[in-house]
Amino acid sequence: MLPAITVWMTLGLLVTLLPLSAVALVLMAGYGVFYGILETGGIARPTPPGSRWQVPAKWVRGVSRRRRFVVWGSLLGPGFATRNPYAGFWILPLAVAAVDDPGYGVLLAAAIGAAHSTGRTLGLLHEVKDVDVNSYLQSTLKSMYWRVADGFALLVAAGAAAMTYAYRL
C-alpha cells in the first residue's frame, strides 16, 4: 500500500503543477460519458486504454522478500503497469489533474492510491478464499457485472466533472 500511495502522490504533484485543471475536467466528462455508455451498454469495443505488460518473472523470482514487496507494491498496487479491463482506472489521473491546488492534488492522489491498493488487496483475498472448480467462469461473470457498475460510476463522475466545469465558466 505504501509504494502505491508514493507513486500516486508523485503523479499528483507532477500533474497539479501544470495548469491542466479545466482541460482535465472536460476530458473527464468526455471520457466518462464515452466509456460509461460503452460499459453500461455491454459494448466491448473500443477497449479502454491500458497496458498488457506483465512484471517479468526474473524481477520477483529468487530475490529478497523486501525487493518483491517493492516491485509488486510499486507496479501492481498503483494500477498503472497492469492489465485493467475497466475503463474507470484512467479517469483517476484526470481527476487528480483537475485539482488546482498542488497540496490538495497530492492529498487526493494519496487517497486514490490508498483506496485502489486497499481494494486490490481485499479483492485478491476475497477471490483466493472463494476459489473452486468453477472459479474462472464465476470470475468472468463477476467481471461483467463489475464492468457495468464501473460504467455507471464513470457516468456519475462525468456528470460531476461537467457541473464542476460549468461553475468555473
Partner 1 sequence: MSEARALLAAGAIALGLGAGWALSGRIETVAIAAVLIAAGNGYSKAYSP
**Residue 142 burial (CB count, 10 A):** 13
And the C-alpha cell for 9? Answer: 502522490
Dig out the grid coordinates for 1 from the structure.
500500500
10 contributes a contact to partner 1 by CB under 8 A: no
CA–CA distance, 148 with 73 (Å, rounded to integer): 28
Interface residue with partner 1, options 20, 40, 55, 60 (CB under 8 A): 40
Q: Is 30 in the site for partner 1 (CB under 8 A)?
A: no
- For partner 1, the binding residue among 120, 132, 133, 134 (CB under 8 A) is 120
Does 18 interact with partner 1 (rule: CB under 8 A)? no
Q: Which 3 state secondary structure label does DSSP give 21?
A: helix
Distance of closest approach, residue 112 Cβ to partner 1, in angstroms: 4
Reference 39, options 153, 166, 128; nearest CA is: 153
The yes or no reply on residue 166 touching partner 1 (CB under 8 A) is yes
* 81 three-class SS: coil
Residue 88 DSSP class? G
Q: Under the rule (CB under 8 A), what is the footprint of partner 1?
A: 25, 28, 33, 36-37, 40-42, 79, 82-86, 88-89, 91-92, 95-96, 98-100, 104, 108, 111-113, 115-124, 126-127, 136, 139-140, 142-143, 146, 149-168
